[in-house]
Structure 1
């Protein structure tokens, strides 16, 4: 068995690398369904014709879609949302999409997809959001689409469509067939767009009626004008508070969140130039983040949730709003306000001009400023203080669950601001852990969380330790290119090896022109203490803050070195046994092949 599996591997790879590859293969095949969905997505991408090369991480040979693929949202290991808007796609919609049986949201607007609207979409009964607007689809709307009883939002606008519209589709709460040649319009019984927009009553019409009815008596006229003036003043005052409330359902989705500002969709559209692609500054499973400028010239970052129609989308939105509204700290991202309509969930934050730590470490453009050592050290301290606040000073405590360099933002002064609470959890102080579906980013996920689904504040401590290693090295948590150099794929294992060999100069980011070796050693030691396999061995964030200052670090580090020596001996014994089993199996297979010949 070992021989069949390992026969394709370079013989130079050692046992540890084999074990890592086994782990990654295990992660990518925890259930058969995600693999089937991964194959369907790769087929779908071929048919969509991504000629611009916008989607580069849909690779069926690597981790399954729900772990790392972009433009995808999953729930319980199943793909539930695809957000492929404005990607320059010019192909067709493949029948492979029907394999995604749990899909609730499909957004492919603003592309150049062609062909007829596929009737097989009628089989996707879980669909709640279907947006195919601004494409080149032609023909008629399949009558079978009337079977999509779960649809809440349907947008087919601006396509070369003609013919009649299945009457059942008019029961969809929000629909848009405008910009087509479909049989709808004011002369017919059915509209082209949802006609439930609130009508803003005009005071001008009221005034005319009042003046007409009061013409018989000047005194009555004066009284009515006075009443009108009072009402008009109140109307103006309301307009100042909420200038652009004219979106379907906007008043029906208010959330009481204290002093947070409630924006209208029109304000957000104006601020972001109608969600222009040129204003995109970030993207993830939740959707996209846009740069924006409010009417008062305040620069903001607008986070637009794309999977609201999925079962987890609404929960993610409410979770983030709830968490950020109660967690206030200088090293935590402050929420300015939000926007809700029947089809939108949007969060508005202060704009972080220096973007994220990950950007400053690895994605700089020519001429942009990198991170020197004092700044990196300040980021390490700031992030630790933010996490300590979430774990120790919030009641109930908050677990972030997706700590990484990409989620640490930088303000004007390059101070660390911890953001993206979309995966965070509130935890009762009486509970030691929370069992949930595994979420997060590969390479940053604690081993006990990955294997059991149990997360605790020690899960964040592990993620913080990996983030410290990112800060020191500038490298990613997982890097397959290291295999070519016969190095460890996982950054944690790579650093452990270099640390054992006292190769500090090979650990530190080559972009750092100067640094303090003693301070680097302190950061690395804290990182390795935070990333121990057993959660009970890891320090709390309160202890981490002290150790970064040098308090109690020497004692904890001495204990770690003793434990690590024992672990290395055990692993060496296991590797020897593993190598013997492999060699024996390989020799037996060679003998069998020789005999067969």
Structure 2
């Protein structure tokens, strides 16, 4: 009996025998070892799974599809209203963010067609549209970057502005243009179709305006007779004034363009003007008469008070428009060092010619049919009013539109003629003011002299 018991239970003493490791029994050591191995395996599995999820998340954020938007500065994405449609239900999400550093970013799910200021385009889409940003597609170039003509997959023609990232300038101009004109629609403002923001790349996609810019038609080689007749030039002036009037008076906060010049006035086939390039624009909230900022703009167009003090308001754009109107009348650049000393500065030469009653000699010699005296006086008087050194005496852009379009634009000489020829009636003599010359004249006192 004893022998049989020992033979059948010989394995049990082996497991229950104490070992040299802390006096622990053998089966306890086995359990501890198995627990350590299980812990190592579990930890490895969790780490692997976490890394895999992280990689998938990053790929999902960078990859462009119909339901994602790339990394965009939170300074740009202030309020985005998004509608996301599932198979079974509709969900609305609202993303609100405060201003943070430009380096921060956010990923938002949304349909690709419209997020308030236009569609997001991938870098690959814009490369395909412009044939790899081919030199043959360049339609404009400057300190801001390069503008390319592009054709999208749906066949629509666009202008792609690739912003140069000089010390973060691309991000700043990108932000300004999106804020200034992202949601603006006006026939005399170039429309923003969309944008691209991948890595350090910042691009803006605009509607394509197919007839170049005003600078090319005024100062380029157009032959002995300019295709810009007097009537076309006044049409361009009216369109430009309407676009600026909308920025100043039709928006809240109002937008001060800050870089009104002939190269920023694009023209379509029907000579309709469209104001473009809002990279230097400033927003001016209600209750503010001006904003102090670093002086920016183009030499020859910047108003004197802005150049000397940095105080910017709508009057600065009005001054620049006055210079632009002088260009339209004379066909000359604001500053031209190739001309004689007395004619290098357009403003000084213009004022001197008007003071000498030589206004007819100011008209561009490339205009085949000269304007009527009345139309010419209207333009010259308006130029003088827009460049008044007292910014408070300059007209508003809405008033400028009215002055350019009004058929009954009053002139001092005509008012005097009317007054001399007027025979007062009994009703007129009963009034203390027979003809309101004194009420009209102050509005035009920087007039023909």
Q: How does the TM-score come out when normalised to structure 1? A: 0.50
Q: Which residue of 2 aligns with 1:472?
A: 329
Relative to structure 2, which stretch is displaced further, 324-333 or 395-404? Answer: 324-333
Instruction: Give 1:488 shift.
Output: 3.2
Q: Indicate how the Cα distance of structure 1 residues 535 and 300 shifts in structure 2: closer, same or farther if over 3 A, else same.
A: same
Provide the rounded CA distance (Å) in 1 between the counterparts of 2:108 and 2:333: 40
Instruction: Give 1:364 shift.
Output: 3.9
CA-to-aligned-CA distance 1:343-396 (integer Å, 9 cap, x gap): 211111111111111111112466997311111110111111111111111001
Helix, strand or coil at the partner of 1:302: strand
Q: Indicate how the Cα distance of structure 1 residues 391 and 288 shifts in structure 2: closer, same or farther if over 3 A, else same.
A: same
Instruction: Give 1:417 shift.
Output: 0.5
Pair 1:304 & 2:162 matched: yes
Count the aligned residue pairs.
320
Instruction: Give 1:506 shift.
Output: 2.2
Q: In the TM superposition, what are the counterparts of 1:278-317 in structure 2 within 5 Å?
A: 278-307=136-165, 310-317=167-174
- Tell me which of the two structures has the higher relative contact order, counting C-alpha pairs closer than 8 angstroms and 6 or more residues apart: 2
* CA-based RMSD: 2.8
Provide the rounded CA distance (Å) in 1 between the counterparts of 2:154 and 2:275: 26
Which blocks of at least 5 consecutive residues in structure 2 are unaligned?
A: 1-57, 65-85, 88-103, 412-440
Q: Which residue of 2 aligns with 1:115?
A: none
Runs of 4+ off more than 3 Å: 196-201, 249-257, 364-369, 550-554
Q: Which residue of 2 aligns with 1:184?
A: none
Q: How does the TM-score come out when normalised to structure 2? A: 0.66
CA-to-aligned-CA distance 1:158-202 (integer Å, 9 cap, x gap): xxxxxxxxxxxxxxxxxxxxxxxxxxxxxxxxxxxxxx877979x
Q: Which residue of 2 aligns with 1:532?
A: 388
Provide the rounded CA distance (Å) in 1 between the counterparts of 2:199 and 2:444: 58
Q: Which residue of 2 aligns with 1:434?
A: 291
Q: Which residue of 2 aligns with 1:543?
A: 399
| Contact 1:253 1:340 survives alignment (8 Å) | no
Relative to structure 2, which stretch is displaced further, 544-553 or 354-363? Answer: 544-553
Q: Which residue of 2 aligns with 1:453?
A: 310
Which blocks of at least 5 consecutive residues in structure 1 are unaligned?
A: 1-195, 202-232, 235-248, 566-597
Provide the rounded CA distance (Å) in 1 between the counterparts of 2:401 and 2:235: 12
Helix, strand or coil at the partner of 2:192: coil
Q: Which residue of 1 aligns with 2:205?
A: 348
Q: Indicate how the Cα distance of structure 1 residues 368 and 301 shifts in structure 2: closer, same or farther if over 3 A, else same.
A: farther
Provide the rounded CA distance (Å) in 1 between the counterparts of 2:271 and 2:371: 19
Instruction: Give 1:252 shift.
Output: 5.0
| Contact 2:335 2:344 survives alignment (8 Å) | yes
Q: Which residue of 1 aligns with 2:445?
A: 559
Helix, strand or coil at the partner of 2:326: helix
Pair 1:382 & 2:239 matched: yes
Q: Which residue of 1 aligns with 2:320?
A: 463
